[in-house]
Amino acid sequence: MSSKAIREYDAKLLLAYWLQRAPSPNPNFDICTSSTLKFPAPRVAQILWDPESGAITPDSLLPSWVSTIKLVAKPDQLIKRRGKAGLLALNKEWEDAKKWIVERAGKPQRVESVTGTLSSFIVEPFLPHPSDSEYYICITSARHADTLLFTTSGGVDVGDVDAKALKLDIPVLGPFPTRAELQNTLLRDVPAHKKEVLTDFLVRLYAVYVDLHFAYLEINPLVVLDDGSIHYLDMAAKLDQTAESICGPKWAVARDLTVYETGPAATTTSSKINADRGPPMAWPAPFGRDLTKEEAYIQKLDASTGASLKLTVLNPTGRIWTMVAGGGASVVYSDAIAAAGFAHELANYGEYSGAPTEGQTFEYAKTILDLLTRPPPRADGKILIIGGGIANFTNVAATFKGIIRALAMFKAQLIAHQAKIYVRRGGPNWQEGLKAMRLLGESLGVPIRVFGPDTHITEVVPLALGLKSTTSSTAPLSVPTTAPGSPKISPATPDAEPGAGDVGAIHASGERTQAEDVVVRFDAVNGSAKGARPAYRPFDEDTRSFVYGLQPRAIQGMLDFDYSCKRARPSVAAMIYPFGGHHIQKFYWGTRETLLPVYTSLEEAVKKHPDVDVVVNFASSRSVYSSTMECLSYESIRAVALIAEGVPERQAREILWKAQAKGVLIIGPATVGGIKPGCFRIGNSGGMMDNIIASKLYRPGSVGYVSKSGGMSNELNNILSLVTNGTYEGIAIGGDRYPGSTFIDHLLRYEADPACKMLVLLGEVGGVEEYRVIDAVKSGQIKKPIVAWAIGTCASMFTTEVQFGHAGSMANSDSETAAAKNRAMREAGFIVPNTFEELPTVLKETYERLVLAGTIVPTREVEPPVIPMDYKWAQELGLIRKPAAFISTISDERGQELLYAGMRISDVFKEDIGLGGVVSLLWFKRRLPSWATKFIEMVLMLTADHGPAVSGAMNTIVATRAGKDLISSLASGLLTIGSRFGGALDEAAAMFSGARDTGLTPREFVDNSRKANKLISGIGHKIKSVNNPDLRVELVKEYVRKNFPSHSLLDYALAVEKVTTSKKDTLILNVDGCIAVCFVDLLRDSGAFTPEEADEYIKIGTLNGLFVLGRSIGFIGHHLDQKRLRAPLYRHPADDIFINIADLSQPRVLGKMQ
């Protein structure tokens, strides 16, 4: 997500609609009430080529003016200098223009060094005009301001705009220029009669630029005629895609053609309903980079998740494919492959990050493996590098599950392509992830080699390519993680009570320690007695923070870090969560617990915790602006970390300049944060505790670094722990174009801090912030040794434009390339390795020189306290086990798809098993034959209702009329079901099957029941008789006789009916009895159950379940009927109740107490 180019067609529609409507960004830029500005007419039409039909947009869908005037036709695919490339058709009738388009549509076109297919065109009115009426206007955004560039010599030969254009800066949150200043600065060479109207146009243009979150807007030429009319002929524009949540409806309404013209041209044949009025903004690929089907699929997948999924196919027949986790890491791997001389064999660039689900990584991996195995096999085989940095919070084993599933699916294809797979990863649960990969390799038949964080991040690249390693021949090993155990707990306060191990102990005072006494309380601990921290040290061992957002996992990580650093009290004072009430949350402090308050407002939190000066803001991209601006309104807040990705660039700039004016340090947005070893950790920085310990982040080192990438920060922590005495402080400023603080801000802090002895800068392609550091080194502001490298050196080797994982990693000029930056840094005196792979070696050599010079004095290693592993995480790692509290064997929703007794929900519908089939899966855990499932559905229909007078329906009606909701009314009716109402099915099944199984004849069964004074369940009806049969029973008997393979118990029950009806004609087999005996026949004779299983299902209430399920349909119907009728509260008539109250003289107590 970043600033994205849009088509000229869309840019002109945005201006056409919003030029008159956009609110003014400042009163200084209000349009004059006497303005003579004539807003340009929205006359632009789009013609698209359909690759399936090979046809262009039909005339019937074009506006009517197209066929009545002379036209200009041109491609609309982000192509620069179309006139010089011969891609303009001028002064054409529509038929000629259409012919010109048809001749080029769908054809490859070479423009300079890029070849692409022409598929999108625009036509607009041809405007004859004198050359001296052509002007040039461009609005662009930078960190400090929006800049308007203007020159009176516009057109095809505009030349070097930067050199000749007049410029006016509009500072972010700075003083706003007046109309007079705009005229005097930009329009001084414009004829007087055009000056006012052009001023009005420019202020409106800037209003649209601001309101619609443009990032770039160029009009060349802008034609201003003597009559005061304005026409924009050619236009190029970029929008800030991250502002879609704000501007999406505004962009969409401008693309709704019905606001401009009625008739066929305004209609659409699509029946798709959009979220807003008008279609959403389209984001075309660069010319020559038409999205493949696979790229479009991953782009769609990326848009539907909070995680990041990117894919660019560079060479479909290439030998080397990558599947890399992390925006920074993905660039580093591409750099390593290109540096080894294999850029021409690199098949793709891509990355996945932000904790994607197993299903998302499966789809991502499946797409890449499909591309890898699609071309014919090569004699030299294929290479797949599954790489990544040390993750901060992504569960490596969980994401690997999706990749493993995809690899198993493509087993045969991978073998056929002689694929070799190299895996390198670190982070939470990396051991289990790599173990699973290694085991897969043993069964897959494809070589898989796995490496952990003890191997340099790109060390697998030369190994995969069969090259000699450029780093050490033996991979360095990380410090092993400390085994979980019970640490010795230091009292939080001098008079702290005994710990958990002493619960129940009796003290000298006679008091007994209670369980709640193990909750550690820090209220008595005062703030730092050392006074205010120096400006260059925003974090120390006494730093206290608020966490904005409900982030228990991140907070627990911060507290575990605090405990490992032996801090006196937690670094988190409270949480801010506006969407919940005030409450308290428990967190671990070592083996004990502590309580943290949750406030609904920052105002209340600041009042109650005046010592807090840092906010870690986890608010979403939609609310991070307002919450951060609120933070900046409190003088006590001195640093804010913005974790959210996708913050609109205009909002990010306003935040950074407001913070700069207030003297507040901003880290982010789009950052994992930073870490001050031994002191303070921002959110998830540093990863899990095993990585914190392995990278020695529990105590300070001597090296301060700054990076854009959060994942690469973890790599730096790891590298520095191996080749130096570790990290002093590390900050990930974030990958967006406008981070709140930049490289120079933090490096100047490190320079001023006497405890920091050595600096590291990890830059990247795009932006110019590295040059500010170069200037500081040249001017002597930075004197400490600085090791630096800019990643993204591979960008210049790609034949097409590639947007890397970070929003800001795109070079807009030669000076912004990684190679140019590395060269400039080396020339300025930085210590710059030849490749990223040599970075550990250079760091080690620089550190050892400082040790020899006495600048750094290594200290004795300290043993950190052991942090007990959380129960849930230990269980996930397979380190512990516990018996499950519940067992379920019928359904499972944990995977990608819901399962009913092992059957995928998609297959349930694909095979059309119906409601009866679902009941058979969930009740009996097996598929029953279709005649059986149809019978189940028949029973549900037959038992759905039996009128409003039966007890269950009556209870439902009475409850509904008492104002109860559906659930309460339904439950009221269901509670009446039992042996007297509805519950006869189970009993009838038991009686009839028991009689037959014991060998009783029908007459003996009837006689024995009569002798026992026991009614036969399922026999008898109040209304129906032999001569007036129950049609429900007849339907059941007919279906069973026709479809069941056997119906012996039904035959037995009908024989019993002959005996009973000979005594009285209403003693027929009723519907309950008929259903019961037929269901027993189903269980016993379907072949799906053993005799024991059939008897068990009868005993555990299956038949009553059918009645409950079916009758619920009727009860719900009665509830809805009464609600629909608005029936009042029911009161039973008193004359229908016989009331017999005993006389007062009658003794109430029949016995005496002894």
**CA–CA gap between residue 74 and residue 101 (Å, rounded):** 8
As a 3-state breakdown, the chain gives helix, strand, coil percent values, each rounded to 5, of 40, 15, 45
**In the 3-class helix/strand/coil scheme, how is 706-719 assigned residue by residue?**
EECCHHHHHHHHHH
Q: Is 729:689 a contact under the CB 8 Å cutoff?
A: no
Instruction: Give the up-direction half-sphere exposure of residue 909: CA atoms within 13 A in the CB hemisphere.
Output: 4
Q: Please, how many CA atoms are within 13 Å of residue 912, restricted to the half-sphere of its CB?
A: 0
State which amino acid sits at residue 641.
Answer: A
Nearest residue to 332 (alpha-carbon basis) of 642, 709, 654 = 709
Q: How far lies 505's CA from each of 287, 516, 1135, in Å?
A: 77, 13, 70
Q: Are 847 and 758 in contact (CB under 8 A)?
A: yes
The token pair at 1020 is 């008898």
Q: How far apart are CA 940 and CA 930, in angstroms?
A: 15
Indicate the helix (H) or strand (E) that contains 759: strand 758-764
Q: How far apart are CA 763 and CA 600, in angstroms?
A: 38
Active site residue 806: yes
Residue (of 99, 19, 92) closest to 56 by Cα position: 99
Report yes or no: 488 and 872 within 8 Å, Cβ to Cβ: no
> Which residue type occupies 79?
I
**Tokens matching residue 191:** 């004829």
For the chain, what's the residue count? 1154
Task: Give φ, ψ of 542 to 5 degrees.
Answer: -110, 5
Rounded to the nearest 5 degrees, what angle is found at the Cα of 641, between the Cα atoms of 141 and 793? 55
Distance CA 405, CA 403 (A): 5
Return the residue matching tokens 């699509």: 270
Query: SS in 3 state form for 1077-1107?
Result: HHHHHHHHHCCCCCHHHHHHHHHCCHHHHHH
Contact 354, 679 (CB under 8 A): no
Do the beta carbons of residue 788 and residue 704 sit within 8 Å?
no
Catalytic residue among 213, 417, 609, 806: 806
d(CA 289, CA 958): 69
Q: How many CB atoms lie within 10 A of CB 325?
A: 29
CB 1106, CB 982: distance < 8 Å: no
Asked whether the CA dihedral 1037, 1042, 1043, 1045 is positive or negative, the reply is positive
Q: Is the distance from CB of 812 to CB of 766 less than 8 angstroms?
A: yes
**CA–CA separation, 947 vs 950, rounded Å?**
7
CA–CA distance, 828 with 774 (Å, rounded to integer): 6
Region class of 531: left (phi > 0), else alpha (psi between -120 and 50), else beta = left
Q: Is 588 exposed, middle or buried (0-12, 13-18, 19+ CB in 10 A)?
A: middle
Between the alpha carbon of residue 571 and those of residues 558, 681, 1074, the distances in Å are: 7, 8, 72
* Residues catalogued as catalytic: 806
